Structure 1
């Protein structure tokens, strides 16, 4: 990257900023996006992103993208949703559906127990 490109990107060669914890977290979470996109977002040079990633032992290699079997979109994040083979949106929907289903089961069981109690007590 030339000096003029670096200045356009908001960073000069003489200007050295320390990496903040938030920037390191972003780098770690978005490592599959590649150094150029991360550099653009963090207003750093791609080289500084690659160097920091190497020092932290974070691989910036793109892994083969997987496709969510539910919605068909791509996902690459290493999170709980990714471990279960789906994108984050589908994971959250699946969790919400499971919670609603469990609540409905509890309500049905409660109604059954109340009806059984009324039958046994002969009450109204």
Structure 2
């Protein structure tokens, strides 16, 4: 009997471990949070950003990292999502970068911003393109 079946089992276990730890790291970001509607979150930041921009960013971040947008908060740093995504070889960050490009935003800024700051940047970008 060769080492082929053992090798395949090890590869499968390794892939399962990476997927599991990626899921756990994303879950850790939003642990102990209850879903909150964006309209309710908006009340605390209404003087800082337009609701359409906040909704778009929360949806974009949530879809990129496979997280319910209602678990994301305006004060969440995007760097936390990027770090958690490293378990999945950056697939979520790649999707976020595509979303940023589609919205004419610089992907390099994302790692230093919060969700709210990204929403403000999106709002500024939309305003300057009109």
Where on the TM-score scale, by shorter chain, does this alignment land: which range?
under 0.3
Greater share of helix: 2
**TM-score normalised according to structure 2 size:** 0.23
**TM-score normalised according to structure 1 size:** 0.24
Which has the higher relative contact order, 1 or 2, with Cα contacts under 8 A spaced 6 or more apart?
2
Larger radius of gyration: 1
